[in-house]
Amino acid sequence: MKKKILICNRGEIAIRVGKAIRELGHISVGFWTDNETQPPHLEYCDQWIHLKGSSNTETYLNMDQIISLIKEHKIDAVHPGYGFLSENTEFSKKLEELGVTFVGPHAEAIHKMGDKAISKQMAKDAGVPVVPGSTGEIESAAEAAVIAKEIGYPVLLKAVAGGGGKGMRVCVDEKELDKNFEAVRREALSSFGNPGVLVEKFILNPHHIEVQIIADNNGNIFHCFERECSVQRRHQKIIEEAPSPFIGTDEKLRLEICETAVKLAKAVNYNSAGTVEFIMGEDKSFYFLEMNTRIQVEHPITEEITGVDLVANMLKSALGEELDIKSQEEIKILGHSIECRICAEDAHTMLPAPGKINGFETTFGQGIRFDHCIFDGLEVKPDFDPMIGKLIGRGHNRRVVLRKMRYAIDGLYIEGIKTNIALHKLILDEEKFVSGHYTTNYISEIKPQDGIADLVKTENLYMKAISIEANILD
């Protein structure tokens, strides 16, 4: 039976979800708002609904309006994408009460895994290694100082409800801990509506390694191997790859981290697509960080190396259909994949730079996928996340993907706004990145962004040279 599935999101992920809904033979429904009257995702939607208002609070975060539209339009299921209401327990519960399917895990999993303190305790109970520090919330700077003394500095203060790299501060000594404690609590309350904070050991020179989970309602829980997301700015990912070059050929370690993720997913009776994030030290010991109970930005690289359509399977699982996958053994790593997040931001400062796009062209080679919401004339608004596209490459091995990605990034033209394309060009050619030996300190230590000015100069000279050549040919 055809189901009417509402995409409660915008941008590239709304397009990705729209494609999957249609491919499965269902009816895709999308929103437009007063802020974005003709969003590109509507091209992948069979029905368009006006979500009134301009700001995100009035629209994509407005549960009351969304719920009443769901009733009015007799929606069967809702895909939340990432961000917005994707990890909101209240939203998923409200839908459940209405008899509308939430395309995500059951509400209790969202609740437990959405709180970094509760999930840490759960992980500990399930025998999953966690970062040394407090498991529960801490009430005062003095309490944090006692724990910090035990585990040793540097420590990290972290908002239990945090996300998107926000609500975190590193403290190197007690003085800093004292100074930062109230600030993190205040930030946590204003950004996430929850002042809860935990303190944990700040792992030095670590790797961010995460495991993709896909599960159904019949207790089948599979992993689709790992991704490495250590190229980050402000604790936010910019380049991801699968499999992890740090784990490399250590199949024992790979199996261990993937099975640990499955163990945690089992402990919460997980029943959707989700990601278990770990931090891995230089000595390859790894600790649970958090679980994201939704589809993640970087899911395509896993799709590229395993061939598993994560969005389609997430939908199938929610609709009570059988997954495409029947056993863990079916899922294999075939080759390598890298994703560059294309953001409307200054390539050097990495700060958002909204504006209007007035030129967009792509010339890619074989093995490239571009998940994006870009068109000539698109106005990139400051209201939304600056990420406008994801350039994804796949190939036989890492070296081949690097080659493909370099050619593809050179063939990506976005005019009118600042983007981080130049930064990606530099990283894809940078020695440490190319060797695969990089940690989450990569951007702050190697500073590839310092090469932007020179790169731009060279490219301008090159453009000038080809235009002279064009003139000669004329």
Quickly count: other Cβ atoms within 10 Å of residue 200's Cβ. 23
Q: Based on the shown chain and the rule CB under 6 A, indicate whether residue 199 belongs to the binding site for ligand ADP.
A: no
Torsion angles phi and psi, residue 378, rounded to 5: -65, 135
As measured in angstroms, the least distance from the Cβ of 106 to ligand ADP is: 19
Partner touching 132 among Mg ion, ligand ADP, none, CB below 5 to 8 Å by kind? none
Q: Which CB sits closer to Mg ion, 87 or 137?
A: 87
Judged by beta carbon distances under 5 to 8 A according to partner kind, the member of ligand ADP, Mg ion, none in contact with residue 420 is: none
Stretch that binds ligand ADP, among 95-103, 233-241, 252-260, 358-366 (CB under 6 A): 233-241
As measured in angstroms, the least distance from the Cβ of 164 to Mg ion is 8
Q: 223 with 213: CB under 8 angstroms?
A: yes
For residues 20 to 59, the per-residue mask of contacts with ligand ADP, x marking binding by CB under 6 A and - elsewhere, is ----------------------------------------
Is residue 164 a contact partner of residue 236, using CB atoms and an 8 Å limit?
A: yes
CB 378 within 8 A of CB 279: no
Least gap, CB of 132 to ligand ADP (angstroms): 9
The structure tokens listed for 31 are: 């929103």
Q: Which of residues 454-473 bind ligand ADP (CB under 6 A)?
A: none
Measured distance CA(119)–CA(445) in Å, rounded: 31
Tell me the window of 48-56, 138-146, 274-282, 368-376 that interacts with Mg ion (CB under 5 A). Answer: 274-282
Choose, from 16, 185, 233, 294, the residue flagged as catalytic.
294
The nearest distance, CB 238 to ligand ADP, in angstroms, is 10
Nearer to Mg ion, 67 or 224 (CB): 224
168 or 319: CB nearest Mg ion:
168
83 binds, among ligand ADP, Mg ion, none (CB under 5 to 8 A by kind): ligand ADP
Q: Nearest distance from residue 454's CB to ligand ADP, in Å?
A: 28
Query: Is residue 228 close enough to count as binding ligand ADP by CB under 6 A?
Result: no
Nearer to ligand ADP, 136 or 377 (CB): 136
Report if residue 164 touches ligand ADP, rule: CB under 6 A: yes
Task: Respond yes or no: is residue 294 known to be catalytic.
Answer: yes
Q: Which is nearer to ligand ADP, 203 or 426 (CB)?
A: 203
Nearer to Mg ion, 11 or 162 (CB): 162
> What, of Mg ion, ligand ADP, none, does residue 264 touch, CB below 5 to 8 Å by kind?
none
Binding to ligand ADP (CB under 6 A): which residues in 248-307?
Answer: 277, 279, 289-290, 292, 296-298
Q: Write the secondary structure of the chain as one string of H (helix), E (strand) and C (coil).
A: CCCEEEECCCHHHHHHHHHHHHHCCCEEEEEEECCCCCCHHHHHCCEEEEECCCCCCCCCCCHHHHHHHHHHCCCCEEECCCCCCCCCHHHHHHHHHHCCEECCCCHHHHHHHHCHHHHHHHHHHCCCCECCECCCCCCCHHHHHHHHHHHCCCEEEEECCCCCCCCEEEECCHHHHHHHHHHHHHHHHHHHCCCCEEEEECCCCCEEEEEEEEECCCCCEEEEEEEEEEEEECCEEEEEEECCCCCCCCHHHHHHHHHHHHHHHHHCCCCCEEEEEEEECCCCCEEEEEEECCCCCCHHHHHHHHCCCHHHHHHHHHCCCCCCCCCHHHCCCCCEEEEEEEECECCCCCCECCEECCEEEECCCCCEEEEECCCCCCEECCCCCCEEEEEEEEECCHHHHHHHHHHHHHCEEEECCCCCHHHHHHHHHCHHHHHCCCCCCHHHHHCHHHHHHHHHHHHHHHHHHHHHHHHHHC
CA distance 10 to 152: 43
Instruction: Using CB under 6 A, pick the residue from 76, 313, 385, 418 that binds ligand ADP.
Output: 385
246 binds, among ligand ADP, Mg ion, none (CB under 5 to 8 A by kind): none
- Which tokens go with 417? 């706004």
Q: Give the residue with the Cβ less far from ligand ADP, 167 or 448.
A: 167
Decide: is 202 part of the binding site for ligand ADP (CB under 6 A). yes
Chosen from ligand ADP, Mg ion, none, partner binding at 279 (C-beta under 5 to 8 Å by type):
ligand ADP
130 binds, among Mg ion, ligand ADP, none (CB under 5 to 8 A by kind): none
Q: How many residues bind ligand ADP (CB under 6 A)?
A: 28
Residue closer to ligand ADP by CB (options 129, 219) is: 129
Q: Does 359 bind ligand ADP (CB under 6 A)?
A: no
C-beta of residue 329 within 8 angstroms of C-beta of residue 306? no
| Nearer to ligand ADP among residue 352 and residue 411 (C-beta) | 352
Tell me the C-alpha distance between 73 and 82, whole Å. Answer: 23
Site string for ligand ADP, 144-163 (x = CB under 6 A): ------------x-----xx
Measured over the CA atoms of residue 232, residue 236, residue 241 and residue 247, the dihedral's sign is positive
Q: Which residues are catalytic?
A: 294
Q: By the criterion CB under 6 A, which residues form the site for ligand ADP? A: 82-83, 131, 156, 162-165, 200-203, 206, 208, 232, 235-237, 277, 279, 289-290, 292, 296-298, 385, 440
Binding site for Mg ion (CB under 5 A): 277
